[in-house]
Amino acid sequence: MISYNTLDDLTKQNLKKEINDCALSLGGKNHFLHLIEEIRKESPHPLISKKSTFRFTYGTVKWGKVIFKDKVDLLINMTKYRENNGNLMPKKGDRKYKTVMNFLRTLGPMIFEIRPKNNKDGDGFNLHPFDIIDENTSHLNFMFDVVFFLPIHIVKQVFNGPINKNN
C-alpha cells in the first residue's frame, strides 16, 4: 500500500472490513494491534525465525519453512520501493529478475497461520504473502503487508476507515 489517503472510499471500506474480520478472529482490535506492535519491536525481523514461528502476547504466527535473512531483506526492500502500481514481478531482463522470481516462487505458496492463544478469542486466520494476478503481475497481500510491514499509524487509519456518509 503506497498511500492510504489516495484510495477511494469503496476500497477503504473493503480494507476496513478485511482488517476487522481478521482482528475479530484473533480476539479483537486490541489483540490484533498487540500482534503488530510486537512484530515491529522484534529485532531481527520475526520472519527470520529458525523455528518458523513468532509468539506474541495473545497467540502465535506459524509458517511452513525457514525464510533466510537475504530473502527477508529483499522483501523489505520490495515493500519500501514499490513500483509499477505495487507489482512485485520484475520485467524480464531486469538485473534482479532471477532473484525476485525465485523468491516469489519460494514464498508464494506459503501459508502463514495466525492463531490466538485462547480458543475462546476466535479461530485465527491464514495469510498468503502474495496475490498472484497473472504470470506478469503479483502484489503483496494486503493483510500480510498489514501484519508484517505497514506502519502502525496506517493500520489504525485502516481500522478507522472512511467516515460512512450513509449513517
Q: Is the pLDDT of residue 162 over 70?
A: yes
| Residue range 118-132: mean pLDDT, rounded | 90
**Cα 158–Cα 69–Cα 135 angle in degrees, nearest 5:** 65
Average pLDDT, the chain: 86
pLDDT given for residue 167 in this prediction: 43
Residues 6 or more apart in contact with residue 118 via CB below 8 angstroms: 27, 58
| Residue range 24-51: mean pLDDT, rounded | 93
Confidence band, pLDDT 50/70/90 cuts, at residue 11: confident
The cell numbers describing 47, all together, are 520472519
Q: What is the pLDDT of residues 52-100, one digit of tens each?
A: 999 999 999 999 988 889 888 888 887 776 655 677 777 787 788 888 8
Residues 6 or more apart in contact with residue 77 via CB below 8 angstroms: none
